Structure 1
């Protein structure tokens, strides 16, 4: 989104942003180590709260402003607003991770040969730290007035669906010109994410009737067999031509080896490029009918995140390309990806959204998770330029 009444290039010293970010890199690496060294698995709300508390202290130390701590249903989130009006630009972060306690013992923070490792290094603690330092760089150039209208959000449940974080984020971004999502970039070259599939998450519970598997199996209704029928039916809802995936994932059932199981369940992960496709699959799952006489089906869950459609990112991506030249770095590429983020919510609400502005590396949710430190300063400079561009009146 451009603002013809103002020329951002005359307001911001773009080349200075790159040198400022490069001078800040040692401090950014120290801050990334600090964030990684507090384990914050999403399921442990006390651990997430500890991580949020320390990150709030870090923000205060770097920006001279203290974020609000917002706890919703036990989940801790942070919000820092500059100025008194509605947010014009929202930086979207999370500090919960998928990694269980004890991961640091196996994969401690390290920075060797230009590679940062540790749980959350790629997804997405590096991006969260970049948010803070990009803001600090703008304050250094123009004081706090330079970031009037900026809001930084750091949620605590993104990895498990953002059930409490999403309403907070959507409210904050409701009148924003831009949402910049600090999730990791795509691929080795650090492509920005200009479209994401929407997601649905289901648990399908099959109810049968127990009986003795040896004495009178015919009196039972086998929930496990019903599950096998329904798993095949659900998997068949995928549409590769439309880019729609429907994947049964976790499944369980039964009690003992000599009992016809009365209960079974399986989870389903759905990804689609359009809201219409998400709705088609949702309708079909809710219309499932049992195959075995006496069996019943219970559907839990539903559509979680709307698609982040390309149209919501294209104008911001064009600005990123132009500002990259002004900053003095290579222009990023743009890609469409299957994974979802909190950017799906802002884009779904009609807020221009650009994703993947965080770390460049690989291994989200995997043992080889890492970020390449050579990209941190240039991308922090680009982020600062984008923020200033969208805050310009």
Structure 2
């Protein structure tokens, strides 16, 4: 059997213990002190296993970002991970049931973070030469749009030969991700004119009526054949049932497979006109994550991972998915990007979020072998 896989199987319980440590350090994106506390635990693990210290990149509102540099060389490999989660403190708890370990952020994506760390450790312990510099970037705000980390991610990506994203693979199939949809977010504000709904209904101009028309327009832009979806996910307006509504708001999520399509949809949404005479419509927002489009370079990187998988008895597939990741940013710069290299499991952003314990050494070995081949 492969010596790296054997080493990791022998250390499976230690890998799980490290993962438990990070999961219990709960880190909801919007609570800086909790995210930074988790960051301290991450630093301790890197110090313990790899003997490296973090470069802490301070942030005022989100958690601090962490950059670890391992080895040296003229070429650079970028490993991207985030350690913020969508779960409020105390909402979920860590537990093990059979082959499944549950907990907030265990799959998305603390499992991938721990696996990538142990992959580097496995290479070092197995005397597998890594002759490129590895920059391991741990960010704290991916779940809320990567607003403070995007420039940092893009800066490191421009220096790198490849970007490896340790988000989880596709649930059940274990497929790696070679393409992701991009996202565009919009806030639409509508103003009308208030009036008494009984005595002076004719004097009012309903912002809620305009909102209804806008929602119909927005949803008409969805085109499944093109892979484009437009969703008015939040809609609210008015104050009381006996008052003609003078204000309304819509929050819109749009997904697309290409930048051309994203720009087309953005132009249509931002150019919308009012339907109800006397109302005004203001649109703010735009593309916040460019699509991760599959390229020949991505295909080559996937095929390399597929070869590594065969050595471990894995028959890897690739997939295009609707959700975005920080890999969208690196791919948009033309950097070969492979996503889905994290922990196997299911339930991202769901109460049953979990990883498969027996797959920890297997997927870690896959990542280690890919690093070695690169």
TM-score, normalising length: structure 1: 0.90
Q: In angstroms, what is the RMSD of aligned CA positions?
A: 1.7
Q: 2:294 aligns with which of 297, 305, 310?
A: 310
Query: In the alignment, what sits opposite 2:50?
Result: 63
Please say which of residues 91-100 and 54-63 is displaced more in the overlay.
54-63
Of residues 78, 82, 94 in structure 1, which corresponds to 2:70? 82
Listed as ranges, the matches of 1:40-55 within 5 Å are: 40-55=27-42
- Residue number in structure 1 paired with 2:274: 290
Report the counterpart of residue 28 of structure 1 in structure 2. 15
Question: 2:107 corresponds to which residue?
Answer: 122
Please say if residues 330 and 337 of structure 2, whose CA atoms lie closer than 8 Å, have aligned partners that are also in contact: yes
Measured after TM superposition, the shift of residue 377 of structure 1 is 0.5
Find the aligned partners of 1:147 and 1:127 in 2 and give their Cα distance: 22
Alpha-carbon deviation of 1:85?
A: 6.2
Give the whole-Å Cα distance in 2 for the aligned partners of 1:92 and 1:269. 25
Three-state SS of the structure 2 residue aligned to 1:211 is: coil
Report Cα offsets for 1:227-264 as digits up to 9, x if no partner. Answer: 11101101111111111111110122222333222221
Contact 2:184 2:255 in 1 (8 A): yes
Q: Which residue of 1 aligns with 2:238?
A: 254
Alignment correspondent of 2:96: 111
1:4-45 Cα offsets, whole Å, 9 max, x none, are: xxxxxxxxxx92111121122111101111111122111222
Cα deviation for residue 148 of structure 1 reads: 4.1
Aligned 8 A contact 2:238 2:246 in 1: yes
Which position in structure 2 is the counterpart of 1:319?
A: 304
What is the deviation of 1:363? 0.8
In the alignment, what sits opposite 2:327?
Answer: 343
For the residues of structure 1 that align with 2:184 and 2:112, how far apart are their CA atoms? 26
2:257 corresponds to: 273
Q: Which residue of 2 aligns with 1:181?
A: 165
1:136 aligned to 103, 108, 121, which one? 121
Q: What do the CA deviations read for 1:83-128 (whole angstroms, capped 9, x no partner)?
A: 4667611111011111122213xxx212221111111121111001
* 2:367 is the counterpart of 1:383: yes
Alpha-carbon deviation of 1:218?
2.4
Task: Identify the match of residue 92 of structure 1 among 67, 75, 80.
Answer: 80
Matched, 1:193 2:177: yes
Q: Structure 2: how far apart are the matches of 1:19 and 1:163?
A: 40
Alpha-carbon distance between aligned partners in 1 of 2:343 and 2:303, rounded to the nearest angstrom:
20
Q: Tell me whether 68-77 or 344-353 shows the greater mean CA deviation.
A: 68-77
Q: Structure 1 residue aligned with 2:140, among 131, 156, 159?
A: 156
Change (3 A) 1:73 1:260: farther
CA separation of 1:386/1:241 partners in 2, compared to 1, >3 Å: closer, same or farther? same
Structure 1's 385 and 88: CA in aligned 2 closer, same or farther, altered over 3 A? same
8 Å CA contact 2:130–2:371 kept in 1: the answer is: no
Q: Relative to 1, partners in 2 of residues 1:126 and 1:147: Cα closer, same or farther, differing over 3 Å? A: farther
Q: Distance in 2 between matches of 1:85 and 1:146?
A: 9
Name the residue aligned to 2:204: 220
Give 3-state SS (helix, strand or coil) of 1:133's partner.
Answer: helix
**Do the aligned residues in 1 keep the contact of 2:230 with 2:252 (CA within 8 Å)?**
yes
Could you tell me whether the CA contact under 8 Å between 1:166 and 1:345 is conserved in 2? yes
When residues 86 and 235 of structure 1 are mapped into structure 2, their CA distance, relative to the original with a 3 A threshold, is farther
Contact 2:74-2:132 at 8 Å conserved across structures: no
Q: Is the 8 A contact 1:73 1:164 kept in 2?
A: no
**Secondary structure in structure 2 of the residue aligned to 1:212:** coil
Paired residue secondary structure (2:130)? helix
**Does 257-266 or 24-33 show the bigger shift?**
257-266
**Aligned ranges 1:203-214 → 2 under 5 Å:** 203-214=187-198
SS of the equivalent of 2:112 reads: helix
Could you tell me which runs of 5 or more consecutive residues in structure 1 were left unpaired when the two chains were aligned: 1-13
Mapping 1:342-381, distance limit 5 Å: 342-381=326-365
Question: Equivalents in 1 of 2:344, 2:328: separation in Å?
Answer: 20
Query: Which consecutive residues of structure 2, in runs of 5 or more, have no partner in the other structure?
Result: none
What secondary structure does 1:266 align onto?
A: strand
SS in 1 for 2:170: coil
